[in-house]
Structures are given as C-alpha cells and as structure tokens.
Structure 1
Amino acid sequence: MQNAALTVFVVDDDEAIRASLVRGLSLRGYHVEAFEAAGDFLAAWEDRRPGCLVLDYGLPGPNGLELQRHLNAIGAQLPVIFITGHGGVPESVQAMKGGALDFLEKPFRHSELVERIEAAFALQRERLAAQHSLQQQQARLQRLTARELEVVQHIMAHPAETSSKEIAARLAISPRTVDHHRARIMEKLGLRSVAEILAWGRSGQI
C-alpha cells in the first residue's frame, strides 16, 4: 500500500467508534487522524492535506452533510465516505448528490470500509498526478517569451493555419522568425510537433 502521503481523516462524535477505526485502520498501514467534531477537523485540515474523509452523518452541529457542503463550497477535493447509525434513503441520496464516495450504515466490516478507502485513495492519486502534471506544464509555459506565447496562442486559435508562412502573415513577422520561435517553443515545452501543442491546449493547459 502506497499510502504514506495520504491520510484517513475520521470525524465521529462517538469515542468508541473513533478509537476502533483508528486502531483497525492503523493496523492496516494507514495514517489516521480522528476528530470529535467538524470544527476540530477543519482547524487541523487548513493545509488541504490529501487523503479521504470518513464522516459520521449524524454529528451534532454542524452535521456531516453540512460539513460536506462546506467542503464543496471551498472547492475541496477530498473524497468523503459517510458512516451512519441511523441513516436512511433520503440521507444517503443527499450525501451521494453532494459527491460522497459511499454511504455505509453502522455496524459495517472494517474490510468494507478499507475497500472504500482504497477507492478514495486511487481517486486522490489520479487528482494529485493530474495537478502535478498541470503545474509542470504551467511552469514550462511561463518560460515562453511574449512572442513565443503569441505563436502558441495563434496555433490554438487557428489550428488550420499552423505553417510558418501562415503564422508569419498573422503576426506580421517573417517565416524564418516563426521557425526560430517554433523551435524554442518545442524545446521549452518539451513537445515535438504542432499536433502535440494542439493536444496540450485541448487538455486545458494553455
């Protein structure tokens, strides 16, 4: 299990359940942090650490659903697994509509929760990898000069006009200058063709 950088955050006002979850999940190799109330969790999670949230639906104010709404409102990308001792269909529907990964009714098997946590961690790893890739690409984009960026933006805006002659006519510069800029763009962005620039742009990175 490659969970060293990911944390299972448990929020449940029942001390016995918190202790059981911390013990059981820690024995399985997870880093676990447990909290009695939503406010305690939010105070400790200010640095937006990745992982997943195992959240009791019936917390005393704010409850689990209200905490989920708050996380959604601030753009948090923390997968939520609800646990509840008295939830029903309406509650589970609300939770799932809010983006919850699952809604487990107590008592549940630890192995069942572990399956949901692994799914949540897989989702987090995908998001972190995509975020890292985007940051790398944005850093490369910042290395472009103003004119090089103008060439890239032209290619994105006019994918049918990507020859040096066509770009030169649009930007009122010589085709040879465009060739020079194109070579520098490819080097700085780590790309090999106009097609890759277009694909890169379609992925939302330009």
Structure 2
Amino acid sequence: MTDSMPVVFVVDDDQDIRTSLTRALGQRGFEVIAYDSAEAFLAAYDGEQAACLVLDHGMPEMTGLDLQALLNAQDSPLALVFITGHGGVPESVQAMRGGAVDFLEKPFRQSVLVERIETALELAETRRAARELRRGIKARFDRLTAREEEIVARMLANPAEVSSKEIGNFLGISPRTVDHHRARILEKLEVRSVVELVDLVTRLRASGGMASP
C-alpha cells in the first residue's frame, strides 16, 4: 500500500463485482484491495488503517452487518459503504445506525459510489484522529494509582468542592496527603489545574471515549 493513494477495501463474494470495482475505482485514483469474504478481509486487516470499506451486505457465513458490528466493537477507524443486491429496509436501517455512510442497492451509478467513498475517506480520517486522541488521553489516566483515581473522581464529581481539606474529609486522609496526590495527578495527566483536568475529560468524552476515565 502507498501513502499517496487513498485506500478502498472491497469485500464481496461476487468475483465480477470485485473485478469491475477494482478496475473502475483504480481508474479514479484509488488503491483498491479486494477480498471475497469478511473472514479473508479480517485476516489481512491490521485494525489501524483509516480507509473506506465497500462492503456487500448479503455474503454467506459472516454477513456485511456482522462484519460492521465486529469492526465497531473493535473501535475501527474504517468508514463503510454498503452495497447489496437484495437488502431490505431493516438491513439498511441497521447499517446506517451502525455508522455506515450509505446503503446502495445494485446496480448503482459509479459516480454515486465514488461520491460516497470520498465522504467515507474523510470520515475515516476523522475517526482515526478521534481514536488517537482517546488513546493518548486514556494513556495518561492509566498512569494514576487507585488513590489518585479516587481523588480525580471526587474532583470531577464536585468541581466546586475540590480543596485538599474537602477532599481529605471525604476520603478520610489528611489535606497534606491530598496535596501530594494532587501534584502527582497534575504531573501524570500533563495538566496544570483542575480547569485543565475537566477540559481533558471533556475532550475524552467528546471524542467518543468512556463516560468517565
């Protein structure tokens, strides 16, 4: 794979579809990598690359919707465009609720597919950036000890009552001990104040992270 060409994965059990899409999309400037099943794709995909996945809905064994659910569970940055010859309204609704860019019925116009792929590539890059942000922030929180996590939770739950004395009374420890923990917390999280700590957690949640660190 090259960094200069946008990558499109095609997963379809129909050889003719794979061949025609590979040729047509390649002529449009995309690097196309095709697979004949969801299982073959999963065996090759590293889980990290931001790309568009053009995915057939009605495949045997693992369906397109099954693959979408698995990729979502893995926090994949891929953006999906479904193509189908016999999908119905329930399937299209499920696909769109799962974050798909579109659910196109065969035959479809090539120009429409290309437009959806371009949208998907932009979305995939946004998802990749958001995932990197989440990973970076959560890595900082992973540095905290159990006691430091308790103090952070208290600071976030009661932003107006974050003095060392108030936190110490709540946790049953001395204000001086709280001061020591607070200094370590700010250092580990790479922030300088409670305001910056709250902002860090807000950014984590906005990027799709957990409700609490």
TM-score, normalised to structure 1, is 0.76
Q: Return closer, same or farther for 1:44/1:201 CA change in 2, 3 Å cut-off.
A: same
User: Aligned partners of 1:194, 1:7: CA distance in 2, in Å?
Assistant: 42
Q: Residue 191 of structure 1: SS of its match in structure 2?
A: coil
Can you list the C-alpha shifts for 1:14-54, whole angstroms capped at 9, x where unaligned? Answer: 33332232233234443321122334333333x32442321
Q: Residue 82 of structure 1: SS of its match in structure 2?
A: strand
Structure 2 gap segments, 5+ residues each: 206-210
Deviation at 1:103, TM superposition (A): 1.9
Amino acid at match of 1:103: F
Q: Which residue of 1 aligns with 2:9?
A: 9
Is 1:113 the counterpart of 2:113 in the alignment?
yes
User: Aligned partners of 2:195, 2:67: CA distance in 1, in Å?
Assistant: 41
Amino acid at match of 1:188: K
Can you list the C-alpha shifts for 1:132-164, whole angstroms capped at 9, x where unaligned? Answer: 122212221232344433321221233332012
Q: Is the 8 A contact 1:7 1:49 kept in 2?
A: no
User: Aligned partners of 1:48, 1:164: CA distance in 2, in Å?
Assistant: 43
User: Aligned partners of 1:109, 1:172: CA distance in 2, in Å?
Assistant: 68
Q: Is the 8 A contact 1:101 1:120 kept in 2?
A: yes
Q: Which moved more, 1:186-195 or 1:174-183?
A: 174-183
- Aligned ranges 1:168-183 → 2 under 5 Å: 168-183=168-183
Q: Is the 8 A contact 1:4 1:30 kept in 2?
A: no
User: Aligned partners of 1:68, 1:11: CA distance in 2, in Å?
Assistant: 12
Q: Which residue of 2 aligns with 1:21?
A: 21
User: Aligned partners of 1:38, 1:62: CA distance in 2, in Å?
Assistant: 8
- Aligned ranges 1:14-163 → 2 under 5 Å: 14-45=14-45, 47-50=46-49, 51-59=51-59, 61-62=60-61, 66-73=63-70, 75-76=73-74, 77=76, 78-85=78-85, 92-93=92-93, 95-97=95-97, 99-163=99-163
Q: RMSD value over aligned CA atoms?
A: 3.2
Identity %: 54
User: Aligned partners of 2:89, 2:138: CA distance in 1, in Å?
Assistant: 44
Amino acid at match of 2:56: D
Q: Which moved more, 1:141-150 or 1:131-140?
A: 141-150
Q: Is the 8 A contact 1:57 1:82 kept in 2?
A: yes
Q: Return closer, same or farther for 1:68/1:26 CA change in 2, 3 Å cut-off.
A: same
Q: Is the 8 A contact 1:9 1:52 kept in 2?
A: yes
Q: How many residues align?
A: 201
User: Aligned partners of 1:205, 1:132: CA distance in 2, in Å?
Assistant: 17
Q: Tell which structure's C-alpha radius of gyration is larger.
A: 1
Q: Is the 8 A contact 2:68 2:98 kept in 1?
A: no
Can you list the C-alpha shifts for 1:74-129, whole angstroms capped at 9, x where unaligned? Answer: 62544321223455656544544554321223343433222212222222222222
Amino acid at match of 1:102: D
Q: Return closer, same or farther for 1:57/1:172 CA change in 2, 3 Å cut-off.
A: closer
Q: Residue 159 of structure 1: SS of its match in structure 2?
A: coil
Amino acid at match of 2:133: S
